[in-house]
Amino acid sequence: MIRLQNIEKVYRTDTVETLALNKVSLEIAKGEFLSVMGPSGCGKSTLLNIIGLLDEPSKGEIRIDDQKTANLSDKQLAQFRNKKLGFIFQSYHLISDLQVLDNVELPLLYRSATARERKQLATEALAKVGLSNRVKHFPSQLSGGQKQRVAIARAIVGRPEIILADEPTGNLDSAMGNEIMDILIQLNRDEGTTIIMVTHDENMAHKTHRLVRLFDGSQVQ
């Protein structure tokens, strides 16, 4: 489903050139739950951003569903992300000025859905993560675990085929972390969603189908 070929990412400043990813090649099958591990600064998040089409590789090719993603316009990329991808971030990135329901509806704003459809889908997504009773709350009124569950609801509301999670349990204690992990596993198992998760936590990584390790931008496992 996702195919990375010789992906390189170089960050350049006037004086320094940093190789963040070095010839990474990876194939991820549909329905797979993959975790990416490695020390800080090894390129995990860069890899996730490139898969999520939030960043471009300096060299190499990405294909998602056999479609080349290079040369897509800003609008096409936006549509592609909207339809195929869902994101979960370590620091949740909820919009603090919007209520939980409005936050979850966000991806649906960028496709043709009526207000009623948006509300219905968002309510369903919130029910899946067990937050039906928090729809009118603002993010600041929620605990860390609840915020991450809202973020998961936002990621799944548009029924994307792929979910990219960047340290989703990184800011949570182990009990809450496990809860979030359980939701992701269930999502992968029941709905067949492909999940790629960056993590620092060996225990979490071992719950996934496959583990990829990076070191200094290169794939070591």
Write the CA distances from 87 to 71, 83, 145, 162, integer angstroms. Answer: 22, 12, 16, 9
Q: Considering only residues 153-192, where is the footprint of other proteins by CB under 8 A?
A: 154, 158
Among 3, 63, 83, 200, binds other proteins (CB under 8 A): 83
Among 1, 58, 60, 79, binds other proteins (CB under 8 A): 79
Instruction: Note whether 208 binds other proteins by CB under 8 A.
Output: no
Instruction: Note whether 36 binds other proteins by CB under 8 A.
Output: no
Residue 202's Cβ-side half-sphere holds a number of Cα atoms within 13 Å equal to 1
Instruction: Note whether 82 binds other proteins by CB under 8 A.
Output: yes
Joined together, the tokens standing for residue 213 give 């390790």
Write the CA distances from 130 to 124, 149, 162, 184, 215, integer angstroms. Answer: 10, 8, 21, 13, 37
Residues, the chain, total?
221
Kindly state the number of chain residues that form the binding site for other proteins, as judged by CB under 8 A: 30
Per CB under 8 A, the segment of 25-33, 98-106, 119-127, 211-219 that binds other proteins is 98-106
Q: How far is CA 60 from the centre of its chain?
A: 21
Residues in contact with other proteins by the rule CB under 8 A: 49, 52, 54-55, 74-75, 78-79, 81-83, 85-87, 89, 91, 93, 95, 97-98, 102, 105-107, 109-111, 115, 154, 158
